[in-house]
Chain A
Amino acid sequence: KNQVEQSPQSLIILEGKNCTLQCNYTVSPFSNLRWYKQDTGRGPVSLTIMTFSENTKSNGRYTATLDADTKQSSLHITASQLSDSASYICVVSDDGNAGNMLTFGGGTRLMVKP
């Protein structure tokens, strides 16, 4: 069964600090890996999407890495801001049909304190 595990479940950091969120997956065959940001009370918003051949991708202060060999990904947030407080969701896509292709992790809830 395809699974996506994220760690830690929750994290508290001070404004201006960096942090790294982890994602391990057992999805096969692999197509791409996505990171989403979900603010409280809102729908997820895409941050990055990486295919098998990409091992890093940035979106502003967010940098995602992918190691397809160990089936691990990380999301690094640089110089955190209060607005980074949200849940971050790792999603892995397989090569199946359109609807059953995505497996969602349970998310990491990040709180940035002043």
Chain B
Amino acid sequence: NAGVTQTPKFRILKIGQSMTLQCAQDMNHNYMYWYRQDPGMGLKLIYYSVGAGITDKGEVPNGYNVSRSTTEDFPLRLELAAPSQTSVYFCASSYPQDQPQHFGDGTRLSIL
């Protein structure tokens, strides 16, 4: 059972570069989320989606963009990478919204 799959697992970017973090789920969940986790801190919500074609900002959306063209996929885009975006990024999904979220194993991103 795949669950939530994130790619890549690791990435190093230079300041100003762009990249897309991929997230796919095979559980037919409507709700999908992107979080970042900084050392010793709680997860912070970046963007979320309640279904295909619908996205909304979370607590820390600046510097990121998302799209949700299908139920399965929810990519996160960094347009101009900055050192402050060095973090571990987690994608999660759930259905319905008050049920436990299923997380991927994260993408570890370093901006140098």
Cβ contacts under 8 Å, B43 to chain A: 44, 89, 104
| CB within 8 Å of B: which A6-48 residues | 9, 31-32, 34, 41-46
Contact: A43 with B42, CB < 8 Å? no
Contact: A43 with B106, CB < 8 Å? yes
A100 contacts the other chain (CB 8 A): yes
Task: Known contacts A98-B48, A99-B48, A103-B42; decide if A41 and B59 are in contact (CB<8 Å).
Answer: no
| CB within 8 Å of B: which A65-101 residues | 89, 93, 97-101
* Count, chain A residues at interface, CB 8 A: 25
CA distance A107 to B56 in the complex (A): 26
Question: Shortest CB–CB separation between residue A88 and chain B, in angstroms?
Answer: 12
* Count, chain B residues at interface, CB 8 A: 28
A to B contact number (C-beta, < 8 Å): 57
A64 contacts the other chain (CB 8 A): no
CA distance A89 to B57 in the complex (A): 23
Cβ contacts under 8 Å, A99 to chain B: 33, 45, 47-48, 50, 56-58
Task: Known contacts A99-B58, A103-B42; decide if A43 and B4 are in contact (CB<8 Å).
Answer: yes
A111 contacts the other chain (CB 8 A): no
CA distance A44 to B58 in the complex (A): 19
Cβ contacts under 8 Å, B44 to chain A: 104
